[in-house]
A and B are shown apart, each in its own frame.
Chain A
Amino acid sequence: MSNYLIAGFLGVFFGFSLNKAGLTKYHKIVDVFRFTDMAVLKFMMTALVVAMIGLYGLRGLGLIVFPSVPSTYIVGNVIGGLIFGIGMALTGY
């Protein structure tokens, strides 16, 4: 139960950050593929760097154990990404 509360709570902040970065808008998503507005990449890469530092730091201190890492199967990951990109550029989601 408390796990669900955490999920809801974190979800609110997740959605809030997406909204404030403008990623809920069609033109923001498409414009990163046109190289006219790089907000999506700036947002993603900042989140990545912050989370990497936090997670590896906490693991170094022995406070967390990593959850199962998404599995790598090269062909699937790439083909999935290729299909995903088409949908993303068409819809702006």
Chain B
Amino acid sequence: MKDTLVSRRAVLAGTAAAGALSLTGFPARAEPQWKKYAGTTLEVILAKGPRGDNLQKNIKEFTDLTGIQVESEQIPEQQQRQKAVIEFTSGKPSFDVVHLSYHVQKRQFEKAGWLADLSGYLKDPNLTAPDLVESDFSAAGLQYAKNDKGQMLSLPWSVDYFILYYNKELFQKKGVAVPKTFDEMVAAAETLTDPKEGTFGFVGRGLRNANMTLWTNFFLNYGGEFLDAKGNILTDGPEAIEATKMYQRLLTKVAPPGVSGFNWMESMASFTQGRAAMWIDGVGWAPPLEDPAASRIVGKVGYTMVPAGPKGQYSATYGDGLGIAQASKNKEAAYLLCQWAVSKAQGSRLLQAGGGVPFRNSILNDAEVRKGVKLPQEWLQSVIDSAKISKLGLPVIIPVAEFRDLVGAGVTATLSGADPATELKKAHEQFRPILERSEKS
């Protein structure tokens, strides 16, 4: 590793000098040497979705810019995660660049040492465009991308804040104001619920595992912290119990029947059919909500921040990034690709199509880019506001999936009337040994 770095530096120094000469003494940071790795072929493994689409659709631009060929495949999220882990474990992954879900894989990837350190590349003017600087990424993005030694192990690609979607028409009909706090939200939901009409005040994920991404919005706003300084899990403490009570209250009293089996898809169906007045979920669902072919509430959707709890106002934040396999032989070329994928041009397209929200402030704050956003400006505003109150939505531990399954099952059980404190205690009795084992190994 060290050898290749040294030789690369030496080579780059030479070419940089040549480049500087040709610019006749122009001293500022120039464009990186895009063409240096022309002829290389990169393999990319993507999770299926708008980010992957956006990359694949415009990849010709990257190839034109660099001469690097890119072979990419999109695989459904869950299978993509499995494939990546299995290939990494084999020691010879078939891909150079991997699309990773931070909230699920961060700790696992870091601990296993599967990703290359990009910190050096970021500081290298021959590899990095002048506008790409660390401080341009939002705090949550950096928190996700850096390990505890401060090394950048990936480039943050797209962030997912949880926001409150509401049905303006139903709100107007009942004369309800947009809630700013949980208490107001409960009151509003109660007013808006009308079982005879088949409309309900609130809908959200009740399905085990999926529900944890919603639940943490309550947990954080009740002042919850996932881990203490020693890494002990705290999600069965008093904040968690209060949060679960709130969750239970909303999903049993003012939500459609069967909500305990709802994932985002069923929740969205209720909301787009005008059967639910409020829905808390990721920012990424605006395009289908505003699509006349898929939604009955086009133009009637309001977007705002998750209401405040008694201990603060936070938006549970998730995200994905692009990392480079430590075992890859084309790290520099792969870095150019990652850089292009998170570039302003690509990020603007993503944002404007509503397919994702870039982690880079320079994109979000650019008036020109914002003008091009086809979704309602209210949506964009909710994104920008949520960025300010964003907080990581899941504990950064290896057994995230077990956490979501076990605690999620307990939380789902409260929807059939079980007691929150008892269920959380039971779930954590099962989860704690798993966490201990994984941190020890």
Q: Do A and B come from one complex?
A: no
